[in-house]
Structure 1
Amino acid sequence: MPGPNGANAFIAGALNLQSGVTLWIDDGVTLFASRDPRQYDKVKGTASCGIITASDNGCLALINASKIANAAVVGDGVIDGRGGSPLISSVPNDPNLLKRPNGGGTMSWWDIGWMANKVLNQAQNNPRLVQISNGRNFTLYRVTLQNAPKFHVVPGGVEGFTAWGVKIYTPTAAYEAMTNYLGMPYSPDTAKNTDGIDPGSSGPITSNPGNPGKLKGDASNILIAYTSIRTGDDNIAIKGGTGKVNGRTYNVTVAHSHFYSGHGMSIGSETAGTDNDAPNPDVTPVDGILPSVSNVNVYDLVIDGADNGLRIKSDWSRSGLVSDIRYSNACIRTPESSSDGKPQALIFSPYYSPTKNNGLYPSFRNIALDGVRIVNASSYTFQGFNSASPLLQGSGWSAGTVGWPNPPVVNPLSISLNNVVADAAPLNFTVADALVTLGESGTSLPFEARSGVVVTNAAAGGKSVAPVDCSKAFVPFPGR
């Protein structure tokens, strides 16, 4: 809370929440993250944070909640990760404190992220703002999170998570007036991997003092509502683990929210976890196959300025079944261009990034869009998985030790569209290996049946329904 004589800021390194504890950040108060990487090293005395390596597991988060229950971060205050500020060190002449190559002082967290991802093709060891690992019933309420060094909020393997009225804004205006080590202005494009909220499953946990009972690694019963997210990567990315040993992700609702700059409302790219195919009464098999991510309901969502709108992404190194995903009452406005190519309002693709074949084949089933409007010109991709696709012959793809499936594996995209309206003709429209059902109110998108694409049209003679009203949807980020 505010102190005497106008004191209104706190600085902290890695904090650990306990079961039953709420961290309150009062109105007018900012909790700043320390700029000292040594405060986030996982083992004191061993530098693992603030460096560039092949993996990105070297940092504690600013706020850590591991194997606990009934904890929260609430209040109308701010948590600021200071991602664009020069780093310092509590170790004299710290040899692990990275310097800007141009001699302009020390690197910032975002400098490290850009160099690692865009220059060296390695990983940034930057702290997250909030990491909830393998627990139950965690709440974020009303707080503003900004300028994260990396991901803002990651609930991993959490059974019961609510984010309500949360604002995520990165970078803030003060940082956008500054430049990175290459002289490029800080922006959502240059603050790499600063995802908004990424709920996902994890491996099973059998030893968790203070939180009795086995945690299966499931991410379940998740509600994200009345949130506003502007960031440098996925606004939300729902994930399902990199291997079958991981738990599942299910019963997720995203409602009454606004997304701004970012990579949109994503599912994936990790969608493989099924708790080794163990039965689960809360997860419904599809044709005998257990989904990794299922029962996701996204509604009353405005996406304004993200270079992807609604997206499901994965590949054959880390995927499985994604099923029963519903999008409704959504308004989408994409930018005219993006750093990684033409923006896509709707993109469902099992060819997310070039990888080797691990035999974990993507399958997107029972995807439903009902009441979605795209108000400007954009591109669209609707692809099922086909191991004989020419895309897998491109640069970076490899059959690995698994080899090329014979006969080919074909998992068509199963998707339905009803009252899906694009106000402008698509800039690009890709459909392959798909089973498309058009509802009574149809779509203005130009689906046509051809080899590998089946279109079932229930729209002929159907009822006419007005498109989603987006006239008042696009509003400035609240409080900015």
Structure 2
Amino acid sequence: MRFFFVVIAFFVCALTDAQQYYDVTKFGAKKDSSAKATAAIARAVKAAAAAGGGTVYFPAGKYLTGPIHLKSNITILIDAGAELHFSDHFDDYLPMVESRYEGVDVTSFSPLFYANGVEHIAITGSGTIYGHGKKWWDFVEGYKEGQPRSKWQLEFDRLNKDILLPDDPKQMKRGFLRPPFIQFMHCKNILIQGITIRNSPFWTINPQFCDNVTVHAVTIINPGQHAPNTDGINPESCRNVHISDCHISVGDDCITIKSGKDAPGRAKARPAENYTITNCTMLSGHGGVVIGSEMSGGVKKIVISNCIFDGTDRGIRIKTTRGRGGVVEDIRVSNIVMKNIKEQAIVLDMEYAKVPEEPVSERTPRFRNIRLSNITAYTKEALYINGLKEMPVSEISLNDVVFEAERGITLKNAEDISLNNVRVNTQLGPALKADVAKRLSVINLEAKQLPADAPMIWLNDVKGARIQDCWPFTKAGLFTRITGPATEKIVVKDNLVEDAAIQIDPEVKAGEVIKR
């Protein structure tokens, strides 16, 4: 009797599990892409939602579809051997929906996967989804100002008459905004796992104003050439985001953290916070992990660890400009290997766009409390920090880092900077140049290779510096050059060099450099 009840319980559980699956082919979807499956998929989603939730299942096959809109408690399961091919007919992505484009709130084309105000949603499986982005890319790159506006641009104009525009509204006024591949708005408890994504029209995974987002073991492949703005993962104004074990090769930044642009972003005041990014590999892309430049709502409490960047233009990049406002703070980067980096391994730039200096206000951005450690980088330029005259970059530390670079470290308009156990081998210029800086600590800076005509360290208009326990290895020439009439309170001590290797230019006030 007990065995009988166990068997019955097993079959009841099996039946319950089976009832949770909604095979799209049972709702009319064709597995050979002979007809669009948009309506059939929508029926499967609706049936699952009516039952309180379930899994919309794509068995092996090739499906052609328009946008897929998710509801609460829905999992999209794309099985091994299944391919979802999204239509490249622009009309399929009408009617336009609430969206966000580069930090500005708009009504625009439906994203390929879309949800708004729902919870407990997932896209999982071992299958592949194709965005067929080329037609979208070609339209944008081929559009010329002044040519007749398309029906899609006219519809955009009609729906966006009163939107709050950024400082430079050119893109918004053009009025043809490609849809992101996956954009979830105002959602909670999101999982994207296991799938392969190819050829996105625009940003690939782009949650907005969401809480508790997990992106795990996802592969994203967008062409490195002629695929503009095809970033990999762009969580914007979200909380509690977890990105791990992903493989990304794209036509723009691999992973980007954003929180709105200029006045629209400040008005929302929704920071990006509590993000962890780990165990990812980034190949082709403008940047490995990038913060900004749309960071007007603020970015804080971000941890990036155990990643490899191989072939990106830059490794870690934090960028903004005057007019953005917002604060980037409490950032930790550790255990990173970078190879074949075409520009800077690490860049913190507050003049991403050249804007005239202005008084400090809510339009003034800030970078502070950023810690980088245990990094090895083979790159064109090691580190570039460029703050604003009215708002220097502050509280930055670099610990246990090795750079093999054409050019070394540049600091400008920066304060409270600490370099500890850093090796910089350069082919051009000094290992470290600091220009207009305050409170600089350099301890155990090493250089195995330096150009013969450059000092290892060049300080210009630096107020307060400690240069200690540094070693240029075999360099017999100039160790430190100190220049600038604003220079003061410089201590150079316990370095493996002769006093003659320290050059103090005449404009430096007497007594401001102490050699021990």
Match of 1:189 in 2: 225
Separation (CA, whole Å) in 2 of partners of 1:359 and 1:309: 29
2:384 to 351, 376, 381: 381
> Counterpart of 1:447 in structure 2: which amino acid?
L
- Larger RCO (alpha carbons 8 Å, 6+ apart): 1
CA positional deviation for 1:160: 0.5
Matched, 1:10 2:63: yes
Matched, 1:368 2:371: yes
CA positional deviation for 1:454: 3.7
Matched, 1:347 2:347: yes
CA positional deviation for 1:448: 4.3
> Counterpart of 1:113 in structure 2: which amino acid?
V
SS in 2 for 1:110: helix
1:434 to 406, 409, 414: 414
> Counterpart of 1:109 in structure 2: which amino acid?
W
CA positional deviation for 1:316: 1.6
Match of 2:291 in 1: 267
SS in 1 for 2:184: strand
Separation (CA, whole Å) in 2 of partners of 1:315 and 1:380: 19
Match of 2:124 in 1: 74
Matched, 1:130 2:171: no
Separation (CA, whole Å) in 2 of partners of 1:438 and 1:134: 39
Separation (CA, whole Å) in 2 of partners of 1:117 and 1:454: 50
Separation (CA, whole Å) in 2 of partners of 1:314 and 1:15: 34
Q: 1:369 to 1:66 in 2, by over 3 A?
A: same
CA positional deviation for 1:363: 0.9
Separation (CA, whole Å) in 2 of partners of 1:438 and 1:256: 27
CA positional deviation for 1:114: 2.3
| CA deviation string 1:124-168 (max 9, x = no partner) | 422211001011110001111110011101011011100000000
Separation (CA, whole Å) in 1 of partners of 2:210 and 2:378: 36
Q: 1:141 to 1:119 in 2, by over 3 A?
A: farther
Match of 1:176 in 2: none
> Counterpart of 1:322 in structure 2: which amino acid?
V
Separation (CA, whole Å) in 1 of partners of 2:349 and 2:271: 20
- Contact 2:382–2:403 (CA<8 Å) still a contact in 1? no
Separation (CA, whole Å) in 1 of partners of 2:273 and 2:337: 24
SS in 1 for 2:108: coil
Please state which structure has a larger fraction of its residues in strand: 2
| CA deviation string 1:105-124 (max 9, x = no partner) | xxx11112323599997454
Match of 2:198 in 1: 146
SS in 2 for 1:234: coil
- Contact 1:431–1:453 (CA<8 Å) still a contact in 2? no
Q: 1:376 to 1:67 in 2, by over 3 A?
A: same
1:302 to 297, 303, 308: 308
CA positional deviation for 1:412: 2.9
CA positional deviation for 1:222: 0.4
CA positional deviation for 1:43: 4.5
Q: 1:43 to 1:457 in 2, by over 3 A?
A: closer
Listed as ranges, the matches of 1:168-187 within 5 Å are 168-171=220-223
Separation (CA, whole Å) in 2 of partners of 1:221 and 1:370: 23
Q: 1:151 to 1:413 in 2, by over 3 A?
A: same
| CA deviation string 1:197-227 (max 9, x = no partner) | 11111xxxxxxxxxxxxxxxxx111000000
Q: 1:56 to 1:194 in 2, by over 3 A?
A: farther
TM score, norm. by length of structure 1: 0.67
SS in 1 for 2:347: strand
| CA deviation string 1:255-281 (max 9, x = no partner) | 0000011122100112222xxxxxxxx
**What is the alpha-carbon root mean square deviation over aligned residues?**
3.0
Matched, 1:112 2:93: no
> Counterpart of 1:82 in structure 2: which amino acid?
H
CA positional deviation for 1:451: 2.9
Listed as ranges, the matches of 1:412-423 within 5 Å are 412-423=393-404
CA positional deviation for 1:318: 1.7
Gaps of 5+ in 1: 85-107, 172-187, 202-218, 274-291, 337-342, 387-408, 463-480
Match of 1:199 in 2: 235
Query: Is 428-437 or 352-361 further displaced after alignment?
Result: 352-361
TM score, norm. by length of structure 2: 0.63
1:237 to 241, 244, 256: 256
CA positional deviation for 1:332: 1.1
Match of 1:32 in 2: 85
CA positional deviation for 1:36: 1.0
- Contact 1:350–1:383 (CA<8 Å) still a contact in 2? yes
**What is the count of residue pairs matched by the alignment?**
353
Query: Is 112-121 or 127-136 further displaced after alignment?
Result: 112-121
Gaps of 5+ in 2: 1-22, 33-58, 148-169, 426-430, 445-467, 471-516
SS in 2 for 1:442: strand
SS in 2 for 1:60: coil
Q: 1:127 to 1:448 in 2, by over 3 A?
A: closer
- Contact 2:211–2:240 (CA<8 Å) still a contact in 1? yes
SS in 2 for 1:154: coil
- Contact 1:56–1:125 (CA<8 Å) still a contact in 2? no
Separation (CA, whole Å) in 2 of partners of 1:55 and 1:115: 25
Q: 1:36 to 1:353 in 2, by over 3 A?
A: same
- Contact 1:140–1:162 (CA<8 Å) still a contact in 2? yes
CA positional deviation for 1:378: 3.2
- Contact 1:12–1:62 (CA<8 Å) still a contact in 2? no
Separation (CA, whole Å) in 2 of partners of 1:26 and 1:73: 11
Larger radius of gyration: 2
Seq. identity, %: 28
Match of 2:329 in 1: 323
